[in-house]
Amino acid sequence: MLNAQAERGELRAELEEWIADGGFPCVGAKSALARGTLKVVTARDITSAWNDVAIHDDLLEWAHAWRAEPEGLRSLAVVFEGPRDLSETQFESAMWERIQSLADKDHWRGQPYDERVSADPGSPHFSLSFGGEGFFVVGLHPHASRPARRFARPTLVFNLHDQFEKLRMEGRYERMREAILSRDVKLAGDVNPMLARHGEDSEARQYSGRQVEDDWSPPFSDKRAD
């Protein structure tokens, strides 16, 4: 038990140190880490459903906590022990398997789909929904082509859609976005071609971090889409 707890602590520390590094471009993640609103949970294997129920429990709790206190930036990061040798396409496939499994559990548990977003992954207004709250995902893994996504472990970072809508309403979203883009260019040397403003293209294209093809569509279908 102590060894397992120590390993989980090491995984959390790895992610927190990576985000805190001066070169990491996402100022939103840095803010959540600094404010103590970055929750890090650990799981075994991103290619396995072993921890999916526990992950879904955390997503429900995160959604309910946001509704009780909808302030600030917060993220829920799921750090998997491995595998650490997945290619970009292999990681993308495993990521969508986990997302599909979590969405199926949300449906099975009778959770409503957030009516403020679309369940159609081809829609420019698409977002995932867990516990009645819209989420988008940022995938990280060792073999990501973009340095900002290149973390030592396969990781899924779940961000609440509503928190960015609030930033947009407050006039702070564009400033934060420009800061992230500028820092990403400094890190990678060029602009990430997959980044788009919400409402211009489906956010599903950005989840894995891979530069997807023009005709790409995610292997995802939510049972509540109708």
Q: For residue 195, what pLDDT is reported? A: 66
- CB 177 within 8 Å of CB 164: no
Percentage of residues of the chain with pLDDT beyond 90: 64
Beta-carbon neighbour count of residue 171 at 10 Å?
Answer: 8
Q: Would you list the domain boundaries of the chain?
A: 2-153+173-206
Q: At what angle do helices 27-35 and 173-188 cross, to 10 degrees?
A: 110
Residue type, 204: A
pLDDT in tens, 30-76: 888 888 989 999 999 999 999 999 999 999 999 999 999 888 788 99
**β-pairing, 128-130 with 75-82?**
unpaired
pLDDT in tens, 107-166: 999 999 999 999 999 999 999 999 999 999 999 999 999 998 999 999 999 999 998 788
Q: For residue 175, what pLDDT is reported? A: 77
SS3 per-residue string spanning 102-123:
HHHHHHHCCCCCCCCCECCCCC
Q: For residue 2, what pLDDT is reported? A: 42
DSSP assignments along the chain, one per residue: -HHHHHHHHHHHHHHHHHHHSTT---HHHHHHHHHT-EEEEEEEETTS-TTHHHHHHHHHHHHHHHHHS--S--EEEEEEEE-S---HHHHHHHHHHHHHHHHHHHHHTTPPP-TTSBS-TTSTTB-EEETTEEEEEEEE-TT-SSGGG--SS-EEEEEEHHHHHHHHHTT-HHHHHHHHHHHHHHHHSS--TT---BTTB-GGGGSS-S---TT---S---TT--
Q: What b-and-e string marks burial along 27-59, b requiring 16 or more CB atoms within 10 Å of the CB?
A: bbbbbbbeeebbbbbbbeebbeeebbeebbebb
Confidence (pTM): 0.92
